[in-house]
Amino acid sequence: MGLLARIQSPADLRRLSGRQVDELAAEIREFLVQSVSRTGGHLGPNLGVVELTLALHRVFESPRDSIVFDTGHQSYVHKLVTGRQNFGDLRKRGGLSGYPSRSESVHDIVENSHASTALSWADGIAKANQVQGRTDRHVVAVIGDGALTGGMAWEALNNIAGGPDRRVVIVVNDNGRSYAPTIGGLAHHLDTLRTTRGYENFLSWGKRTLPRLGVPGQMAYDALHGLKKGIKDVVAPQGMFEDLGLKYVGPVDGHDTAAVEHALRRAKAYGGPVIVHVITEKGRGYSPAEQDSLDRFHAVGQIHPETGLPVAPSRFGWTKVFADEMVQIGRRRPDVVAITAAMLAPVGLAPFAAEFPGRTFDVGIAEQHAATSAAGMAFAGLHPVVAVYATFLNRAFDQVLMDVALHHAGVTFVLDRAGITGDDGASHNGMWDMAMLTSVPGLHLAAPRDEPTLRSALRAAVDIDDAPSVVRYPKGAVVEPITAIDTIDGVDLLARHEVGTGREVLVVGVGALVPTALAVAELLAAHGLRVTVADPCWVLPIPAALVKLAGEHDHVVTIEDGLAAGGVGSMLAQRSTEAGVRTPVQSIGIPLGFLEHSSRDQIVGDLRLRPEDITRDVLTALAAANPAGR
């Protein structure tokens, strides 16, 4: 039996000797590589925090001491040492979540996959402890240097520093990366701290060198110490952190458990807010990850553990189509620039950046800043394309509304992984964007169904110079092209089933669910209904042609991979009513709620979004509206 099997709680971990802790770290790395290579998941981040996590649980006493991870994808080691070692169904239904989950353990605080939030959680918990007189506990926030590029983290730091007697320990897990190399002024400062061990090294060098140059020992000593403050301000961190009122400890080798434990104990004993700066290596101990410069091991699918190569090659995906079209647009349009929030490669902007480095801006984990900065660029004559995951646009809604839309700024937002994504859990499903954006005046939103419509939508989006435009697409492989049989004022007609004698039904497919709409139409036609399938592609604002089509049918069904409440179907119903169209609109989409981690197919089944489920629901609605069969 290995050491890991004997660790069922952090108390077991605290009973190990230092040598045993090092053995356990090696065992955990082997476990992670073997397990995650079979299930997929966040491999690189967890390999980088093995010793750090062990040290945290040996110094602090979770759950009495609250440990908050930012982001939670680095919590696998935390799960292992808090009694959760069955990784066989990681990120699958019934198995462990890929993020902390309160339903799994009392040791988990936040399902935290939206970055830069942990410090605010820590501030709130520490304030609650203070108000309630809980002086026997600490709050620990583990935040990466990448997440420190987010403005919310600095708002929290400002507040944490305002409570000098609150027991908050901020562990900066500094590996120089988030999804990609960390950028910005903070990154440059941390680079200095990583490569400079403080002015003590300078003093040591001076004491050895100046006497050899003939400078008397006492004079050398006085001169060096006279320079102490200036040198300290240049190479030591107090200039940034301690001026905020935060005690600083570090930099510490994050793979030396004893050193990390020593630093954490010092921080714990201080009795006020402390930053512990820990230097780690993402992917530590796994050669394919250590040798990878593209960060392909941040999150992996199934891979061969020996080589790190995928078990099955991925099919040509939506992101690659966007990546290619962006380069083509960039060649034609010198005013088009690209913005990303620390996800250059995942959102497909790496090829654009390679060809147009001066027109590509990575702003760090700062979606709000990305949107408003884009508004400024538009004002100054550029057309910015802001590419983010759909779930992360939620964070910049105010900026889209008040900075971009209010000022009629021509900014294009490209939303990757829109709709149901599945195994990453509640916070990663990109299901909020369409319902959220229906309230933005003047906004144009496209949901392409295939590669040709995605390319067309992108070209049209960058031509809109007086309003925000949005192009959304799902995670995964692109479907085969779906050709329109007719187009009416911009609305594609994809199929007509006219042989039936029953009522006339218009089925409106939105984006990734267009194939579902086509399948539903065939099933309805088999029940004797006359069915037309339409795809507007540009779903916001609701096209007038779609409202007209609705008025020409007895019943309308909209099928979308976003929230049904307030979504495209709801907007079509509202616009139809305003136009005097009395045709009922049946909106089918995702119900209001949070979706737990499962496969996409399982979620689709649960939500009754399969063609046969939708068909039954439509037939039920038609029967209820016409009980006599008239």
Contact between 396 and 358 under an 8 Å Cβ cutoff? The reply is no
Contact between 572 and 556 under an 8 Å Cβ cutoff? The reply is yes
Q: Per the annotation, does 383 bind a ligand?
A: no
Q: Per the annotation, does 73 bind a ligand?
A: yes
Q: How many CB atoms lie within 10 A of CB 457?
A: 25
> What element of type H or E holds 238?
none
What gap in Å lies between CA 564 and CA 63, rounded to an integer? 39
DSSP assignment of 109-172: -----SSS-HHHHHHHHHHHHHHTT-TT--EEEEEETTGGGSHHHHHHHHHHHT-TTS-EEEEE
Q: Per the annotation, does 89 bind a ligand?
A: no
Sorted by sequence, the CB contacts under 8 Å of residue 535 that are 6+ apart come out as 449, 453, 482, 484, 491, 492, 494, 508, 509, 510, 514, 517
Alpha carbons within 13 angstroms on the beta-carbon side of residue 477 total 6
What gap in Å lies between CA 327 and CA 345, rounded to an integer? 14
Sorted by sequence, the CB contacts under 8 Å of residue 216 that are 6+ apart come out as none
What gap in Å lies between CA 535 and CA 522, rounded to an integer? 16
Q: Per the annotation, does 367 bind a ligand?
A: yes
Contact between 480 and 504 under an 8 Å Cβ cutoff? The reply is no
Contact between 464 and 424 under an 8 Å Cβ cutoff? The reply is no
DSSP state at residue 314: P
What gap in Å lies between CA 217 and CA 207, rounded to an integer? 8
Q: Which amino acid is at 469?
A: S
Q: Per the annotation, does 456 bind a ligand?
A: no
Give me 244's structure tokens.
Answer: 């905020």
b/e per residue 577-605 (b: at least 16 CB within 10 A): eeeebebbbbbbbbeeeebbbbebebbbe
Q: Per the annotation, does 147 bind a ligand?
A: yes
E strands, 3-127, are 66-70
The residues annotated with a catalytic role in the active site are 282, 367, 395
What gap in Å lies between CA 607 and CA 601, rounded to an integer? 10
Annotation: binding site for thiamine diphosphate: 73, 113-115, 146-147, 175, 286, 367
Annotation: binding site: 73, 113-115, 145-147, 175, 286, 367
